[in-house]
Amino acid sequence: MMRKSQEEQVQNFLNGINLMDSEKAQPLIDIREIILETYPEAKEKIMYGGIVFSLNNELFSGIFLNKNHITIEFSNGYLMKDPNGHLEGKGKYRRHLKVMKREDVLSKEIAYFVKQAV
């Protein structure tokens, strides 16, 4: 079940994904739910073509829909523990996970990384 967003733009984005790409909709909704359960006070908004999440006006994560996958970005991913080598990216700060299917939400340990995001 999809948690309704307080932000109209975010809700429209979520509704649109359900209509356009139902295969990617569920993993995206699962990831969003993990973030909002972990950080209930997080604010969400549409930015950079996806949903970004912030606490105290500081971005910490984002979910982006790509042609073949969903990407969950972590602003300070370079600080994260990654014993199983799931994180991708070589930038100065940001790291990301690619999610191809719903099972990846568990197999790539997304909840583990979300807990480290702030």
pTM of the model: 0.93
The pLDDT of 33-48, averaged and rounded, is: 96
Question: Does residue 19 register a pLDDT over 90?
Answer: no
If you write DSSP's letter for every residue of 65-79 in order, what string do you get? E-SS-EEEEETTGGG
pLDDT in tens, 79-112: 999 999 999 999 899 999 999 999 999 999 999 9
Torsion of CA 55, 57, 59, 62, to 10 degrees: 70
